[in-house]
């Protein structure tokens, strides 16, 4: 249930900052979540609804923008979409860190982030 702990930290952070701004209410929260965080977005939304009850964030709207992964090849310099492998035994795909162009090693450039993009407050 790593979604609950991540969402808890997000909510605590927003409440702390809102108090610093002397806000009376949080109306909207916009998050950017990279696909390589492997966070279940529905679990994040569910956790959010539980965690904001009885706080200045209650009834606030949560918007989540999902960010696709981007890799950079250390060999050929390719920068772009990540290559996925498929394991028919387990019936799922998984990201690989190989360059889709040359097969070299790819470094993750984007897709691991989980950030608060914007928060709309009533001051």
Q: Is the CB of residue 118 less than 8 Å from the CB of residue 10?
A: no
Give 71-86 pLDDT, tens digit per residue.
999 999 999 988 776 6
Q: Identify the structural domains of the chain with CATH numbers, from first to last.
A: 2-68+111-122 (3.30.2320.50), 70-108 (no CATH)
DSSP-based three-state secondary structure for 41:
helix
Give 95-110 pLDDT, tens digit per residue.
778 888 888 888 999 9
Q: Is the CB of residue 32 less than 8 Å from the CB of residue 118?
A: no
Question: Which residues does 91 contact at the CB level (< 8 Å), separation at least 6?
Answer: none
Q: Rounded to whole angstroms, what are the CA distances from 51 to 12, 19, 41?
A: 9, 17, 15
Q: Which segments of the chain have a pLDDT < 70?
A: 1, 85-94
pTM: 0.81
Say what the pLDDT of residue 65 is.
96
User: What is the C-alpha to C-alpha distance for residues 29 and 14, in angstroms, rounded to an integer?
Assistant: 9
């Amino acid at each position: 249930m790593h979604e609950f702990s991540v969402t808890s930290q997000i909510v605590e952070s927003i409440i702390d900052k809102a108090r610093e701004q002397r806000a009376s209410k949080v109306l909207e929260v916009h998050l950017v979540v990279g696909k390589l965080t492997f966070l279940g977005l529905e679990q994040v939304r569910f956790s959010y609804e539980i965690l904001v009850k009885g706080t200045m964030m209650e009834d606030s709207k949560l918007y989540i923008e999902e960010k696709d992964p981007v890799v950079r090849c250390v060999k050929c310099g390719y920068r772009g979409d990540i290559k996925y492998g498929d394991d028919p035994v387990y019936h799922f795909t998984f990201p690989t860190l190989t360059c889709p162009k040359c097969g070299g090693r790819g470094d993750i450039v984007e897709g691991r982030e989980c950030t608060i993009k914007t928060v709309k407050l009533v001051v």
